[in-house]
Amino acid sequence: MIRVNEMVRSNGPPMKVAAVHEDGTVECLQIDSNGVPRIHFVHVDQLRPMWQSLQPHSLWPPTNNFDESELAKEEAAAKAAKRAGAKTCRKAKRSMKVRRKVAK
């Protein structure tokens, strides 16, 4: 809902709502870079309130609906892979120690 005296944005710089007409057009006041006030007539569907236009927007869908069982499976698989890697590393260290002792 756009109200009078509210700061809004269209595709350009911020404007202040001067009047809301019944046919769906909004009369907006904009001060340009030279300090000259300009009046724009914009359809209400093309305007967004300033507070809403300054919020961050994302093209990604919300990520708050995770599948817990899927996450648990992935974590278990990562742990198993880490354990297997550590076991291989321990075996390699042992065999290297054995080789050194045999070589002496």
pLDDT per residue as tens digits for the range 34-78: 999 999 999 999 998 988 877 776 666 666 667 788 889 999 999
Question: What is the pLDDT at residue 66?
Answer: 74
**Domain range annotation of the chain:** 7-53, 67-104
Residue 29: pLDDT over 70:
yes
Q: What is the pTM of this model?
A: 0.49
Between residues 42 and 101, the one the model is more confident about: 42
Q: Minimal CA–CA distance to 54: which of 5, 7, 102?
A: 7
Question: What is the pLDDT at residue 57?
Answer: 67
Between residues 74 and 95, the one the model is more confident about: 74
